[in-house]
Each structure stands twice: as C-alpha cells, then as structure tokens.
Structure 1
Amino acid sequence: MAIPDILYVEDNYDYVDVVERAIGQIDDTTVLRSIDDGALALDTLEKLAEDKTKPKLILLDLNLPGLSGLDLLRKIKETQALRYVPIIMFSTSDNPKDIRSSLEFGANAYVTKPLGYANLVKCLSAMHSFWLKTNCVA
C-alpha cells in the first residue's frame, strides 16, 4: 500500500475531486489518498501503522458513513502508533460545538471549508506549507 502524504477522509466525491486538483496544483509530488468511510479509514490507518508507516497529515470531515469524524478522531488519538499524526478537521460546519468537540478530542486544527476554488487553493497551500514542509512530526 502506498503511503499517502495526506489521507483525506471525505464522502463527498465532487469535493474530493476538487481537493485532489488543488493539491496537484500546489505540489504535484504530494500523494493524496481519499477514503469515503470512517470505518474504512480506521482500518487503513491501522494497516499503515502495522507496517510502521503513517501519513504526514490527515484531513478529516465530520459527517462520514461507517464511523463519524469525531469517533474516528478519538480512535486515532487512542492508537499509540497514530496519536501524533496531525489531524485537521475539514468541514463545512462552523458550529462552535463541533469546533470545541474536535479540539477536545485531539484535533490539531479545525478549518471550515472555504468557498470558491481560489480560496480552497490558498487554504490548502497554507496547510501544505505548514504541515508537510515546516512542522516536525514524531
């Protein structure tokens, strides 16, 4: 299994396509893998951890089939081999309760999905620059 730089857990296929295009525009060497189900994402992450590998960053939507984004976040942070992988909650919700819950469960950041392609590219470029280029990961 190829090790993704970014694992994007999102069930909106159209949005996944747009994010893939934007990441390719930012850096065509970045490997982005998307998974559309929370339970499948957990299985994938556990397999990567067994192989002593992990993504550099996880982008995680709140509303997912199989296992919600918050439940997946909690399970990742409870897994020793994965707990230090940075996780950005990436959702359309700007509800303070969602933001607070995400941060309390261990998200490194909460970002509301921007409107418009240009704004998405700016947002993802900033994430990419910090989390994949500047941030030090254990």
Structure 2
Amino acid sequence: MANISILLVDDRVTILESIKGFFSDFEIKPTLYSACNEDEALSMLEGSCKVFPVPKIVLIDVNRTKDEGMHLLNTLRSHPDLKSMLVFVITNSVSQSNKLAALNLNIAGYIPITFGVQELNNCFSVLNDYWNIIEL
C-alpha cells in the first residue's frame, strides 16, 4: 500500500492503537490520520486543518457520538470532491438498521469489530490485500 493515506474517525484509543499496531507489524506504511469526531474529520478533509494528500480511504464508526457517524457518511457522499472516497464502517454495533443505512450510502465494507485484536489484524490483512489490488 504505497503512498496511501487513511483517515480513521473514531474516538476510541484502543482502535487507533490496534490499527497502528497492525500497520507496524506488517510493515505497511500508510499515512494514517485520526479524528475523534465529525468536525475534526471534516476539518482535515476540507477545512482549516486540511491534510495532504487527502485520504483515499476513510474508516468510520457510524455509531459513535449519537448519529454523528451517519451524518459524516452522508456529508461525504454528497460532497463533490469527497464522494468517491472508499469508506469502510468499523463498528461494534449489531444494529441492522445502521448497517442497512450505511450500505445504502455505498460504503466499501461493513466490518463488525465485536472480536479481539487477532481477528482485527486478520480483517486488516484482508483489507490491505484489497487496497493493493484495486486502483485508487
């Protein structure tokens, strides 16, 4: 995954550390940005704290801080410059309504994280293979 940038939108330090650990363990060196909430994410994507290069992949938990995750997903999908981003939902929610709502917004994948670190590593290993195959 050469020269790829990823934005993680999640306020859980354990998820951020697990993802960083996976990338380090597998010697993957993406640029990993993290935002705790929708406002931070939008600021990094188009606002006063815009990052470069703009991430091609967004990992978001649509169930964090009320409906903020779904609102961010809707905002990304309606934004002319951001709507083509690959968005993967990572969540510990079992809500079928949230899952269907996210899938209807053309997410690239819905990843339940109701399991441990080893399973999360397996999941990111598969995602890494996917990201290396597709053309961004």
TM-score, structure 1 length as denominator? 0.84
1:125 equivalenced with 2:122 (yes/no): no
Structure 1 residues 52, 7: CA separation in 2 closer, same or farther (over 3 Å shift)? closer
What is the rounded CA distance, in whole Å, between the counterparts of 1:34 and 1:103 in structure 2?
23
SS in 2 for 1:97: helix
What is the rounded CA distance, in whole Å, between the counterparts of 1:54 and 1:27 in structure 2?
22
Structure 1 residues 67, 98: CA separation in 2 closer, same or farther (over 3 Å shift)? closer
Question: Which residues in structure 2 correspond to 1:1-138 (within 5 Å)?
Answer: 5-47=5-47, 53-65=53-65, 68-131=68-131, 133-137=132-136
What is the rounded CA distance, in whole Å, between the counterparts of 2:95 and 2:34 in structure 1?
25
Give the aligned CA root-mean-square deviation in angstroms. 2.4
Q: Percent identity?
A: 20
Structure 1: gaps spanning 5 or more residues = none
Does the 8 Å CA contact 1:23/1:121 hold for their aligned counterparts? no
Moved over 6 A (4+): none
What is the rounded CA distance, in whole Å, between the counterparts of 1:118 and 1:103 in structure 2?
26
Structure 1 residues 61, 127: CA separation in 2 closer, same or farther (over 3 Å shift)? same
**What is the aligned residue count?**
133
Deviation of 1:18 (Å): 1.6
TM-score, structure 2 length as denominator? 0.85
- The CA deviation string for residues 103-136 of structure 1, in whole angstroms up to 9 with x for no partner, is 11231211101512211111011112212x1112
